[in-house]
Amino acid sequence: MVNDIIADTLTRIRNAQMVRKEFVDVLYSKVVEGIIKILKDNGFIKNYKTSAEGKGFIRVYLKYDSSKEPVIKEIKRVSRPGLRKYTAAKLIKPYKNGLGIRILTTPKGIITDKEAKRENVGGEVLCEIW
């Protein structure tokens, strides 16, 4: 049993990119699907596909640049079960000068830091991707 499914997902993606895998399977949850969707929308992964046979997995197709380097340079968990990290809308600053994103869970759903700033909502900072 996985205690922190978000940390498990980020670790699987990080490890798969280190060995230049084409895709990686991660455990399914609505939160993980929201994070994966944001990664796709922001160009950090090629695509993803949820399992149709009900096995509870999401297949994430990883993205590399022309020199076979991973597009994701850094991916890390911020808030975790033992130490939650929250931020107010007015305290949200660009991550890595706008080159990276933070993913937050807010009352308006799972969104990026830019969307949270625009919508003027704060929330729990799940992870940072650059």
pLDDT at position 48: 96
How many beta carbons lie within 10 A of that of residue 50, not counting itself? 13
* CATH number among 3.40.50.150, 3.30.1370.30, 1.10.1040.10, 1.10.1840.10, domain 5-62: 3.30.1370.30
Q: What is the DSSP string of 32-97?
A: HHHHHHHHHHTTSEEEEEE-TTSSSEEEEEE-B-TTS-BS-S-EEE-SBTTB--EE-GGG---GGG
pLDDT at position 2: 77
Is the alpha carbon torsion for 16, 73, 49, 84 positive or negative?
Answer: positive
pLDDT at position 17: 96
What is the pTM (predicted TM-score) of this model?
0.92
pLDDT at position 75: 96
Give the tokens for residue 23: 């895709």
pLDDT at position 52: 73
pLDDT at position 1: 65
Which residues of the chain fall short of a pLDDT of 70? 1, 53-54
Distance from C-alpha of 130 to C-alpha of 113, rounded to nearest angstrom = 13
Backbone torsions φ then ψ of 101, nearest 5 degrees: -135, 155
pLDDT at position 30: 92
Domain-wise residue ranges, the chain:
5-62, 75-129
Q: Does domain 75-129 have CATH number 3.30.1490.10?
A: yes
Distance from C-alpha of 74 to C-alpha of 84, rounded to nearest angstrom = 20
pLDDT at position 54: 62
Same fold for the domain at 5-62 and the one at 75-129? no
